[in-house]
Structure 1
Amino acid sequence: MIVFRYLFREVLLTLSAVSAVLLVIIMSGRFIKYLAQAASGALDPGSLFLIMGFRLPGFMQLILPLGLFLGILLSYGRMYLESEMTVLSATGMSQQRLLAMTMAPAALVALIVAWLSLSLAPQGANEFQLLLNKQDALTEFDTLEAGRFQSLSDGSRVTYTEELTNDRAHLSGVFITQKNLGQDAKDRSISVLVAEKGRQEVRADGSRWLILDNGYRYDGNPGLADYRAIKYDTYGVLLPKPDVSNDVTDRDAMPTKSLIGNPEPRAVAELQWRIAFPFLVFIVTLIAVPLSRVNPRQGRFLKLLPAILLYMSYLSMLTWGRGLLEGGKIPLVLGLWWVHALFLVIGLGLMYWEPLRLKLASRRSAEEMTRG
């Protein structure tokens, strides 16, 4: 029991450290991406941390299996390097018993990963898509910032204001340029609006207007001398009416219960993908235990790179198999089980190859001594 607790603690401590580092790296990359979208006006800056929270379960279901895999390699590799495994082996600790003890933390991680992939990650993806739908319904004035040019997603209009009140109702120093995209080259004119101040109004029918005061409007075609300038006291611009969609079409956001029994290839592929992660945990544990066995003279990082490549091959084949399932190129009954079976065979081969090789070498030496 003391050995079991020691191994359990070593694996979980290393798993926590590795997972924390991986999480920081992945979350930082995603946060930079969303921050760039917020800077361009595509996202509301106030919702960035909410978005990261919704995406966290999806990140964790990918990080935890890799963290466990590296945790076993690093912790057991250190124990081999410091001859702790040699001492345990001398007291009767076989590779099979070591694997059985390692399956305990693996089972804990598998339960957490199953909870994430089957429940939390789809819920987070659903909330993330609903939030994006709300973001798409915002007008350019809902994300407008003073002193910054704000462009629509299609690039048809660019808006700028020098000052903006906190309630976004009043603007000053307004500049708006809009492209009129007609089929004829003569109709592809540009309109430029400048105004001393402006305000947003919501009419009784629900329509939203930007009312500009004391400004000019310039219309014309680039490269042609047919510009027209109009001075106005009050000018109204109709803003697009927000249309919030509650439809969720992303397959990652579909509840797991709606995928069960669904015969469509995309639904089957998504369900198989979610189920794959708990199985992945046990199989990579089977692979990691024999790969962590190193010679003290070689160092514990000798097998780290091949092990990571093997893990990435496993994950890549699952992704490839998912695509084949969605395309109907392999039977739905087969699913992704063939990938698990392949790496299960690899894990068993790694587990029993070294003892078998030593046994054959010992038998060969005995035969040579008998002949001598």
Structure 2
Amino acid sequence: MRNTLVILSAVFIVISLVVFGNQLVVVVKESLEEGIPVKDLLPLVGFNMIRDIVPILSLSLLLAIILSINKLYKNSEAVIMNSLGLNNKHFMVFIQPLVIVIVIVIVILTTVVVPWSKQQKDLIINHSKNISKFSFIKEREFQEFKNGDIIFFASKVSNFNNSKEQNMEGIFIYTFINNEPVIILAKQAKKYTNLNTNSVYLRLKNGTNYHGFILDTKKKILNFNLYDIQIIDGNMKKLISKVIKVESKSTFELFFSRKLTEIAEFQWRISQPLSILILSALGVLLGRTSQNGGRNLGVLIGVVVFILYNNALLISKSVLERGESLPIIGLWWVHLVMLLLIFIFYSIRNRIFTNFF
């Protein structure tokens, strides 16, 4: 257990640095493209890290068991233990205290922490895309807002870092009012938030509205001193904050649900700690395989099996969500197949069938 714990820590740190470093680059790139505020970058990276801890910890434990068992065989310690009647079955029992601790950690992560982190991440992203996006106005660049309903251009933007209020000059807007195309030109504009309704407005100063195009017979031209355009509806803000995806719902709520998507999500969360128990048994068998065929062989097989195992669970989850599988089958068949393969592998290794016949 000590060797397994030391190797587990080392492998977890190495894989985490690679994965989290890549996540940081991806999040920063997406934030620049989608206009996510800088203050939200660290929370987003943190929530992504929480999401990725589960597979990283699972893979790290599998590799740690393989390498620690391999070390016993390499130092001939396992050979002596085998001669005393201690075999793979006993090794599986010896590492169970550590495995159970990891399983408890995974259960807490998958049922409580990860759903919470996904919910917080969704709120930040939705808030940035649907509410705060207008605070990232770029000078001399056409931008779309309200899902393309508003095309905006400003030749000059001041107070850029102030998300509450911005002053702009040289304004061009193309939008629709009462299903009619409207072009608005204004010398100045200021973004502000109505504290009563929580809606975001753009207040235009000294400009002209062009309703309809030049060749339209019903075109109208309106000069104005002040003109307000609603950019974000305050009621939409409330709706956004209430939207919770299936992945963000509590495990207790999913347990009583009869929707296929939520049943699939519940089975997926349960499958994570269950797969740890199954993979720990496989790790002991692959550790001995490494002794016969080199250390890299067991590690290579372990990584491949881990990837296939998780991909099979993801495919089964997707099939169940589409209604192409029964909940009673769901993701459980993948675990049963893995257990059967491990039993066959264990039986061949220990010559159970040979001794029986």
Which of the five TM-score ranges fits, normalised by the shorter chain?
Answer: 0.7 to 0.9
SS in 2 for 1:28: helix
The match for 1:171 is 167
In the alignment, which of 315, 320, 338 is matched to residue 343 of structure 1?
Answer: 338
- Secondary structure of 1:40's aligned partner: helix
Match of 1:257 among 252, 260, 280: 252
Aligned partners of 1:73 and 1:201: how far apart in 2? 60
Task: Tell me whether 1:210 sits opposite 2:167 in the alignment.
Answer: no
Report matched runs for 1:135-284 at 5 Å. 135-144=128-137, 151-152=144-145, 154-155=147-148, 156-160=150-154, 161-164=156-159, 166-168=161-163, 169-174=165-170, 176=172, 178=174, 191=183, 193=185, 195=187, 197-202=188-193, 206=197, 208-212=200-204, 234=225, 236-240=227-231, 241-242=233-234, 243-244=236-237, 245=239, 246-284=241-279
Q: CA separation in 2, counterparts of 1:342 and 1:132?
A: 39
Match for residue 52 of structure 1?
Answer: 45
Structure 2 gaps of 5+ residues are: 216-220
Do the aligned partners of 2:202 and 2:229 also contact (CA within 8 Å) in 1? Answer: yes
Alignment match of 1:326 (pick from 314, 318, 321): 321
Q: Cα–Cα, structure 1 residues 304 and 211, in superposed 2: closer, same or farther, change >3 Å? A: same
Aligned to 1:118: 111
Q: How far 1:275 moved relative to its partner?
A: 0.8
Q: Give 1:48 deviation, angstroms.
A: 1.6
2:29 alignment partner, one of 32, 36, 41: 36
Q: How far apart, CA to CA, are the structure 2 residues paired with 1:46 and 1:146?
A: 21
Bigger mean CA deviation after superposition, 17-26 or 99-108: 17-26
Hey, what's the Cα distance between the residues in 1 that align with 2:64 and 2:344? 21
Q: How many residues align?
A: 345
Q: Distance in 2 between matches of 1:152 and 1:336?
A: 41
Q: Percent identity?
A: 21
Partner of residue 89 from structure 2, selected from 75, 86, 96: 96
Letter in 2 for 1:157: I
Do the aligned partners of residues 92 and 139 (structure 1) sit closer, same or farther apart at CA in structure 2, a change above 3 Å counting? closer
Match for 1:30: what amino acid? Answer: Q
SS in 2 for 1:157: strand
- TM-score, with normalisation over the residues of structure 1? 0.77
**Residues 201 and 208 of structure 1 are in contact (CA less than 8 Å); yes or no, is this contact kept in structure 2?**
yes
CA RMSD in angstroms comes to 3.7
Moved more, 198-207 or 311-320: 198-207
**Bigger Cα displacement from structure 2, 9-18 vs 284-293:** 9-18
Bigger Rg, structure 1 or 2: 1
Gap change, CA 1:84 and 1:188, over 3 Å in 2: farther
Distance 1:345 1:201, change over 3 A: closer
2:56 aligned residue (63, 83, 87): 63
Change (3 A) 1:88 1:21: same
CA contact (8 A) 2:313 2:334 kept: yes
Going from structure 1 to structure 2, the CA distance change for 1:359 and 1:332 (only over 3 Å counts) comes to closer
The one-letter amino acid paired with 2:151 is R
Q: Please name the residue that 1:14 is paired with.
A: 7
AA aligned to 1:259 is L
Inter-partner Cα distance in structure 2 for 1:118 and 1:44: 29
Contact 2:184 2:207 (8 Å CA) reproduced? no
Query: 1: CA distance between counterparts of 2:16 and 2:142?
Result: 34
